[in-house]
Amino acid sequence: MRMGRDHDYVHGYAAAEQARLWDQAATLESRLHRGARYPAGGTVLEAGSGVGAQTIPLLRQNPDAVLTCVDIAAASLAEAQTRIRAAGLPVPALRQADLKALPFPRASFDHAFVCFVLEHLPDPPAVLAELRRVVRPGGSLTVIEGDHGSILLHPEDAAARAAIACQAALQRRAGGDPEIGRRLSPLLRQAGFADIRVLPHLVYADGTRPDLAEGFVRRTFAAMVAGIRDEAIRAGLTDGPAFDAGLAALDRAAGPEGSFAYTFFEVTAFVPPA
């Protein structure tokens, strides 16, 4: 999930962000990884693997596949290696590389997997073209991304919406797209993939789902928004009291009388036969 220099990733590389990524992965694993099943002996590329938050679910669900992980940040790959070993799983091949210039020949992999990566990139079509190059004809690419435009919350609150908008604005300034989920199918089609299959995943939390309220709303989504507080203030997008009011409103949405919904998009597509 790390593609460039520190300032290219709007959430940063601090320990708090690493913890948030692991909370996110643990909370969403059963919901977002159901389609990522690969046959024994199949070669799989995880592009933008970051600290390994999505790598561990892939390894658990595909113990007989041959996984290769690529990320541009050496520190993230080192953290991934430590985490994977601690989980008692075999460490896959870890390669440092730019996703727009992968160090593999054409048709090197049977499948590729990308999760929470394209939303941070200034040129997703170039990355998709490179992934199409390294996946064999007939092979698949699975992409998972969220869409900030899908957020529903109760109680509805203008301050919460404004705080979320600050995060989205900073992501766009860094070249990303916080609403890329809705664009995945067209992007894959334009990149030359075929047989595109879109599976939306609605994550909904309210008082009857305290695990999701805590794990997703508070420790994943609200924590992500909280992480850009100082940067948003420096950028002149908000001030401290206004932003903190938004965070408080997000916390209320995670409370017993609140609700919160967010949609992720899982898209699987195939490289056309030669």
Residue 271: phi and psi, rounded to 5, are -80, 125
Of 78, 89, 26, nearest in space to 50 by CA = 78
pLDDT digits (tens, 9 = 90+) for 200-250: 999 999 999 999 999 999 999 999 999 999 999 999 999 999 999 999 999
Averaged pLDDT score across all residues of the chain:
91
The 8-class DSSP code of residue 205 comes to E
Q: Please name the amino acid found at residue 207.
A: G
Domain ranges of the chain: 6-270
Tell me what pLDDT residue 274 has.
79
- Rg for the chain, CA atoms, rounded: 18
First to last CA, the chain: 30
The 8-class DSSP code of residue 253 comes to H
The pairs formed by 234-239 with CB atoms below 8 angstroms and a separation of 24 or more are 235/169, 235/170, 235/173, 237/166, 237/169, 237/170, 238/162, 238/163, 238/166
Tell me what pLDDT residue 4 has.
37
Question: Helix (H, G, I), strand (E, B), or coil: what is residue 33?
Answer: coil
The class of domain 6-270 in CATH terms is alpha beta
Instruction: Calculate mean pLDDT across residues 49-67.
Output: 94
> What is the distance of C-alpha 129 from the center of its chain?
19
Grade residue 2 by pLDDT with cuts at 50, 70 and 90.
very low
Residue 171: phi and psi, rounded to 5, are -65, -40
- As a whole number of angstroms, the distance between CA 137 and CA 126 comes to 18
Evaluate whether 92 touches 68 at the Cβ level (below 8 Å): yes
Residue 48: phi and psi, rounded to 5, are 75, 50
Grade residue 26 by pLDDT with cuts at 50, 70 and 90.
low
The angle at the Cα of 190, spanning 184 to 191, to the nearest 5 degrees, equals 90
Tokens of 160: 């919460």
